[in-house]
Structures are given as C-alpha cells and as structure tokens.
Homo-oligomer: A and B are copies of this chain.
Amino acid sequence: MSSSVSPLAPKHVPEMPVIAGVRLATAEAGIRYKNRTDVLLAVMDKGTAVAGVFTKSKCPSAPVEWCRAKLKGGKARALVVNSGNANAFTGKTGRASTALTAKIAAKAVGCSESEIFLASTGVIGEPLDATKFDGVLGRLAETAEPGDYLAAAKAIMTTDTFPKVATATVKLGKAKVTINGMAKGAGMIAPDMATMLSFIFTDAPIAPAALQALLKSGVEDTFNAVTIDGDTSTSDTLLAFATGAAAEHGAPKISRASDPRLKAFVKAFNQILANLSEQVARDGEGARKLVEITVEGAKTKASARKIAMSIANSPLVKTAIAGEDANWGRVVMAVGKAGEPADRDKLSISFNGIRVAKSGARDPSYDEAQVSDAMKAPEIAIKVSLGLGRGRDRVLTCDLTKEYVAINGDYRS
C-alpha cells in the first residue's frame, strides 16, 4: 500500500461546512486495517431523499444489490460505509452480512432497515463479518455530530493517498443551500462508474426522483469520464442525500429536475462531481501525472468518448506519459484501435498545446526538445482532432507507473 501522498493531490483542502440534517461519526472496527478508522456512519434526519448510481458490473457486490433494492423507497436515514472488505463475491454470506449490518444500523438509528444504505470497499471475495459492527454502530449513532467530513473521507480510504472532499454553497430560491461531497478511489476505476465510493450531502429540499435525475445526468461527464486502469469495480457506488433542512429557512421544495430554480444548484452539484472525480484521477494508484484527453472533430460525442477512453486506457500511452515521452504514435495507435470512424490523414494531435502531428503526419514544426520539456509537467493535456464532425468529449486519467504495478502486485500480501 502506498504511504506517501500523491504529488497530484490538491494543494488546498476546503473547510467543510455543516449540512443541517446530517450527522457523522467514524470508528476503528478492525475489519482489515490496524490503527485507522474504517467505518463511517452518516445519520440523516427524517425525510431525507436519496438517489444513487452504481457499477454496471454483471457481478456487483452485495451492498450494491442492497442499495439498488432500497433506492425504490427514495428515503434514507443512515449510511454505513466500511473500508478494507468490499463484501463482493461473497454469495449468500454476503447477502446475510448486508442484512445483518442494516439490522444493526436500523436499531442504532431507530429507523426501518429499508432506510439504511450500505457501501463496502476493499478486498473482493472475503466474507465480511458484520458482527464487528455490533456495538460499534450503536456507539457511532450516539456520538454522531454535524461534522467532520474530512474524517469521514479518511475512514473510507483504501489505497487512496489523500482524503477527497469538496463543498459548495449556492442559492436555491432566496435561501442558501450547501452541498458537501466525499469520494474514494484509487484503482479498479473505470466507467461506469469511475469511483468506487462517493457520497454527496445537501440540505436542499429535492425530491428523490429529481435528485436521481440530477445524479444520473451529472455523472456522465464527471465520474463516468474518469478511468484509472479500465477495470470496473464490483462496488462502485455514488449516493446523494438531500435532507431538505433548508426548507426551514425558505428554500423551495423541488420535485422536478427541470425546475428552473435549480439552475445554480445543478451547476454547483455538477462541479462537486467534477471536482471529486478529478481528485480520484489525481490519486490513481501510483499516479505521477494527471492526464486530460480531449477528442474533437469526431462524428458524435459518443464516438469521441470511445476514442478518448481508448487513449486513456492504453497501457502504452500511459507508460509513455510516465516516461515523459511525447510518443504520439501510441496515441494514433489508440485512436486506430477504438474502432470508431477516424481518418488517419486528417488526424492532428497536441500535447500541452504543442501540435505534434497534423494531417496524418508529424507536424512540420515538430521540435522534440520543446515537446519533451512540456512532458515534464505534472499535468498533461492530450488533444486529438479527428476532422470528421462536431463530436467532442473529454476524459481524465493518469499515467501508468511502476508504483501502480507495485501497489497492485502486493495489495493482499
């Protein structure tokens, strides 16, 4: 496991305000890790709306199946997250484990089991002993405070090297509402979803269906546009909770995502998603470079996305960037293998604003020294212009380093 903080970590960690109607607490349940918190309990006031999007894996974890089923009720009273064990591919034991965790949590919080949401992250395939939550969750429910979002973000980390939080305050009607978010990465990350776990909290009074629509639309160009290694987790979970507490000081109750009063809120909400998903890319396992890939001139946005993802997931492109090598030939390779419309002789490619290839050949003004110098930057922007249409998209990834191999070669040992 990596011990030093990623050089790409944000320089500034925001002060996280309180969200009315949300209380947090963390503990050391000793599920896997020693001497660190590994359980988060978030308690929400009655009437909290919940929305969620999950991994598209055909083999999802037991908590993902639990949340999907409970989402139909649209209401949440508590979220229990543990790190260290994903409770994925644990069969009947896994289902029993989620049921028991929910039972313990419901008792601790004083609500129905169907208002409990669960997320687990860590090793796949090992039974999760839910009895470890017994006692712990009761204590957490008693001590939960409006709180410490940074501590919460720390408790859900696995191979992350820094906790990921973001916040925004925005007007809804004439009232001020707040949105807080947290996320954890850092490997097995590819659409769709791009992070293993992320949670958003707001005091805005937004009905479940509207919140679900916002979330579904918001992830498309944020969490679903990030890839670390092309590997999709069995556990990817993004949940949003809206307590509605801001209604008390005049925020209008929103029932439709298309409500024009939501405009500023939607913008801020999407910025939080973008911020958190970028932090996930910045903390990709072993990452030393943040890589932004923009594809323009594609036939469609979907085609641009597919090509951008082909580049972002190419081991050869990613290792070249790790080696600070502007090996644009590998970008051509990745465009070619995407299977989408592309005309080699119309292709242009730039690295950090320096055009290296134009109309299917090396740019006449290509200066290797200049490009090599640009590749030393911690952030690399690759732009590919296909010259075919107006489809455009952008995805984020990171480089592929020896550290990635080291982290993943002995994750379990």
CB distance from A326 to the nearest CB of B (A): 9
For residue A74, CB closer than 8 A to chain B, the reply is no
Contact of A401 among B190, B314, B341, B405 (CB under 8 A): B405
For residue A230, CB closer than 8 A to chain B, the reply is yes
CB within 8 Å of B: which A52-101 residues: 55-60, 86, 88-94
A190–B233 CA distance with the chains assembled, in angstroms: 23
Q: Which of A3-11, A133-141, A200-208, A353-361 contacts B (4 or more CB under 8 A)?
A: A353-361
CB distance from A413 to the nearest CB of B (A): 6
For residue A123, CB closer than 8 A to chain B, the reply is yes
* With A59-B335, A124-B329: A408-B89 Cβ-Cβ less than 8 Å: no
A249–B296 CA distance with the chains assembled, in angstroms: 61
Chain B residue nearest to A192 in the complex (CB): B337
For residue A312, CB closer than 8 A to chain B, the reply is no
Chain B residue nearest to A188 in the complex (CB): B316
B231 touches A337 (CB 8 A): yes
For residue A46, CB closer than 8 A to chain B, the reply is no
For residue A411, CB closer than 8 A to chain B, the reply is yes
A234–B333 CA distance with the chains assembled, in angstroms: 6
Q: How large is the interface on A (under 10, 10 to 19, 20 to 34, 35 or more residues)?
A: 35 or more
Q: A393-405 vs B: 1/0 string, CB under 8 Å?
A: 0000000111011
Contact of A347 among B59, B90, B126 (CB under 8 A): B59
* With A127-B362, A413-B323: A59-B342 Cβ-Cβ less than 8 Å: yes
A50–B22 CA distance with the chains assembled, in angstroms: 72
A233–B360 CA distance with the chains assembled, in angstroms: 16
For residue A345, CB closer than 8 A to chain B, the reply is yes
> A329, A335, A402: which has the most chain B beta carbons within 10 Å?
A329
CB distance from A121 to the nearest CB of B (A): 12
Contacts of A325 in B (CB 8 A): 409-413
A406 touches B402 (CB 8 A): yes
CB within 8 Å of B: which A365-413 residues: 400-402, 404-406, 408-413
Contacts of A93 in B (CB 8 A): 361
Q: A319-340 vs B: 1/0 string, CB under 8 Å?
A: 1101101011110111111111
A90 touches B316 (CB 8 A): no
| With A124-B329, A232-B336 already in contact, 5 other A-B pairs whose C-beta atoms are closer than 8 Å | A89-B357, A91-B345, A230-B315, A323-B409, A400-B405
- List the 10 closest pairs (A to B, CB-CB), nearest first: A124-B329, A323-B409, A91-B361, A59-B336, A57-B336, A319-B408, A232-B337, A125-B329, A402-B402, A59-B344
